[in-house]
Amino acid sequence: MDWYKGRIRDTDRRLALLSRIEGRQLARLFDLLPDVAFFIKDCDGRFLALNRRGCEFCGVPSERAALGKTDFDVVPHSRAAEYRRDDLQVMQSGRAIVNRVESAPQSTSTTHFILTSKIPLRDARKRVIGLAGISRLVERVRERPGAVTRLAEVLETLHDPAHAGVSTAELARRAGLSVSQFERVFRTSFGSSPRQYLVRIRIEASARALAEGDQTITAIAHAFGFYDHAHFTRSFRKVMGITPSAYRREHHHPTARG
């Protein structure tokens, strides 16, 4: 039993040390990890901590700018709803999510998706009071674990403008699944159908065009495959929670010309 008592003493020493450490000291460590986004949220989804990479993911200039805000304040509405759904799952079940496939943040237009892990945070009475998590960009096939590999080529296809008209059957074939299996796996991973995901990609790309360019809204609608101004406006509002014209008024900052 000596080995057991030794483990108890080691555990007690560890807990005693951790209880004396000011929490922000550990959080600063995550600023030194350039490839990992770290965050802490309360039960209402408000950010309590966010490292530098997390700020880049959310498109905010600093942690201070994000504190007290939720995902709905910093990322497109549909993406925020996806993140919040997973947050609630962790906090309500008390179980961690490990390597969940999520859509890439809007600020990383060349990267297709991220792997996110989230754990519940409990107080001294074991009540869940929030969550902490990390997210990592997935860029290379060799980095893709398990079932994610089967979606890799599909995601690359969806993000390639040259394949905007690809069918669900073709996507399923590339994933090595039947259409029904593919749609089920895709929806479980991303919270939407492949078609809905494709619309989201086009909308978020069009949002960048609205913010950075001077094309008319109708021209942008046609450039991203929407039938007309009305179709574009309906789709844009559904994803972004705002009309294209309102989005342009709030975010327009055309890039400087040589």
Cα Rg of the chain (Å, integer): 21
Helical H segments across 126-216, by residue range = 148-158, 168-175, 179-190, 194-212
Return the domain boundaries, the chain: 16-139, 142-251
Report DSSP letters for 4-36, one per residue: HHHHHHHHHHHHHHHHHS-HHHHHHHGGG-TTE
pTM of the predicted protein model = 0.61
Q: Which CATH class is domain 16-139?
A: alpha beta
The gap from C-alpha 104 to its chain's centroid, in whole angstroms, comes to: 5
Q: Using alpha carbons, list the distances in angstroms from residue 33 to 36, 51, 136, 234.
A: 6, 9, 10, 40
Strand partners, 40: 49, 132
Per residue of the chain (258 residues), what is the pLDDT tens digit? 554 445 545 556 665 655 665 556 666 777 777 788 999 999 999 999 999 889 988 888 998 999 999 998 988 777 788 788 889 999 999 999 887 777 666 544 444 567 889 999 998 888 999 999 999 876 544 444 555 666 767 877 777 766 767 788 888 888 888 899 888 888 877 767 888 888 887 887 888 888 888 899 999 998 888 888 899 999 988 888 889 999 888 877 765 444
Q: Strand 47-50 to strand 97-103: parallel, antiparallel, or no bridges (unpaired)?
A: unpaired
Options 3.30.379.10, 1.10.10.60, 1.10.8.50, 1.20.1250.20; CATH of 142-251: 1.10.10.60
- Whole-number Å distance between alpha carbons of 14 and 188: 38
CB 37 within 8 A of CB 54: yes
The gap from C-alpha 191 to its chain's centroid, in whole angstroms, comes to: 12
Helices 244-251 + 194-212 axis angle, to 10? 40
